[in-house]
Amino acid sequence: MTGRLRTIIFPVTDIARAKELYGTLLGVEPIMDEPYYVGFDVDGQDVGLDPNGHAQGFTGPVGYWEVDDITKSLQGLLDAGAESHQAIKDVGGGKLIASVTDADGNVIGLMQSP
């Protein structure tokens, strides 16, 4: 599996408050600003805020690795000992995400762009 760390998503409980804080930290305005997700682009690195992340079992930031074939990459990680955390799902526009946990409970995200 090859890819690059493309997106980091932070689960948040108060999206408005988090948007202000991360906007100040990052020094940029959001490129996506919706009640369900706020996204920033910092020199090609995507930083997202997800108000539903905790409800989906995320306890901290998750790095998403961009891959060419999410199904193959997911299976490779499972075969290497990872455990499924979130099945492949389309988050809009054909962008697919999935996640696994390693032996220490760390969440690893995968992302395939359309």
What confidence score (pLDDT) does residue 4 get? 85
Radius of gyration for the alpha carbons in the chain, expressed in angstroms and rounded: 14
**Chosen CATH of 4-112 out of 3.30.70.980, 3.40.630.30, 3.10.180.10, 3.90.1150.10:** 3.10.180.10
The Cα-based distances of 95 to 85, 87, 112 in angstroms read 18, 13, 6
- pTM of the predicted model, to two decimals? 0.86
What confidence score (pLDDT) does residue 3 get? 74
Tokens 């600003």 -> residue: 33
For the chain, which ranges sit under pLDDT 50? none
What confidence score (pLDDT) does residue 11 get? 96
Q: Each residue of 18-49: b (16+ CB within 10 Å) or e?
A: bbeebbeeeeeebeeeeeebbbbeeeeebbbb
